[in-house]
A and B are shown apart, each in its own frame.
Chain A
Amino acid sequence: MNLVRIKEERDIVVARSAAKKIAQEMGFGLVDQTRISTAVSELARNIYLYAGQGEVHIEADCNPRSGLRITFTDQGPGIADIKLAMTDGWSSVKSMGKGLPGAARLSDHMEIQSELGKGTTVIIEKWLPE
């Protein structure tokens, strides 16, 4: 397992490079490696922008299929309306609103848990082709 702490803006690059490297070692193809590093970049940036700091855990071998599971946790403000936040184009800061829905499209599975005032956890999974 691999842990990247997000504290400053450069850590976004550290997280996405680490994820890409692990994906490559696990045998993911180049397109999937790129999907993974892009999704990680979006979600790590969300931590940096909205929570200030947090953590990215990258782990190999998840259930129900073998692949990559990446968990993004922060103790930031939380997301009031997850469904709204997942809407393509919706942004609370007049950005493009592509990060969450984009990361969902780039992965095989995504889940979000969030509590206002407590923080947010986003999990994405990418499975190896069978």
Chain B
Amino acid sequence: MLESNSIPILKLKEFLIVSIQTDLHDRMAEQLQYDILNRISETSAKGVLIDISALEMVDSFIGRTLADTAKMAATLDADIVIVGMNPAVAITLVELGLSLEGVYTALNLDEGYELLQKITTADGEDIQNPDSEDSVVEDMNEPGSD
């Protein structure tokens, strides 16, 4: 199925940036999940920032899709940070009974970026078990050396 209005995924150094500027219907959310995971594996990105500030609501479907995407990204060695969730959406999500387990959140892109840098660097140092032989470059504490 072709989606005419697919959501762009930008690459910035070792991170991907996604800004959802449209109302997400279910198939589009699934497509986005697929696209993000694909781009992670293509680019070996270490993290993804997803800006949801334009989303007018997060229901069980979108919430679960975001949480699943984070879980799957983790298996590809990438962390996901959701940024810009508006307070009304956050309140509603809690009342709906949803917790975005395993998903990092930050107030805005700046903070999300900082958080992503922190957790992806920590990953490289100690948290992770180094069982993959083909692990990607680890010394990128200072971005900008591309």
User: What is the CB-to-nearest-CB distance from B86 to chain A, in angstroms, rounded to a whole number?
Assistant: 8
Question: Which stretch from A73-81, A94-102, A114-122 is at the chain B interface?
Answer: A94-102
In the complex, B92 has a CB within 8 A of chain A: yes
Contact residues of B between 14 and 66, Cβ < 8 Å to A: 23-27, 56-61, 64
- Return chain A residues, CB-CB under 8 Å to B59: 16, 38, 41-42, 45
Question: Which stretch from B94-102, B114-122, B131-139 is at the chain A interface?
Answer: B94-102
Main SS at interface, chain A: helix
Task: Please determine whether A98 and B57 come into contact, CB atoms closer than 8 angstroms.
Answer: no
Output the nearest chain A residue to B64 by Cβ-Cβ distance: A96
Task: Please determine whether A12 and B60 come into contact, CB atoms closer than 8 angstroms.
Answer: no
- Return chain A residues, CB-CB under 8 Å to B57: 16, 20, 34, 37-38, 41
In the complex, A13 has a CB within 8 A of chain B: yes
Contact for A42 among B23, B25, B60, B87, CB less than 8 A: B60
Contact for A106 among B25, B26, B58, B95, CB less than 8 A: B95
User: What is the CB-to-nearest-CB distance from A45 to chain B, in angstroms, rounded to a whole number?
Assistant: 7
Interface size on A, residues (CB 8 A): 26
Contact residues of A between 19 and 67, Cβ < 8 Å to B: 20, 30-31, 33-35, 37-38, 41-42, 45
In the complex, B12 has a CB within 8 A of chain A: no
In the complex, A10 has a CB within 8 A of chain B: yes
In the complex, B72 has a CB within 8 A of chain A: no
In the complex, B127 has a CB within 8 A of chain A: no
- Return chain B residues, CB-CB under 8 Å to A30: 88
Task: Please determine whether B27 and A9 come into contact, CB atoms closer than 8 angstroms.
Answer: yes
Task: Please determine whether A106 and B88 come into contact, CB atoms closer than 8 angstroms.
Answer: no
- Return chain B residues, CB-CB under 8 Å to A98: 60, 96-98
9 smallest A-B Cβ distances: which pairs?
A102-B96, A34-B88, A41-B59, A31-B88, A98-B60, A38-B57, A13-B25, A30-B88, A34-B92
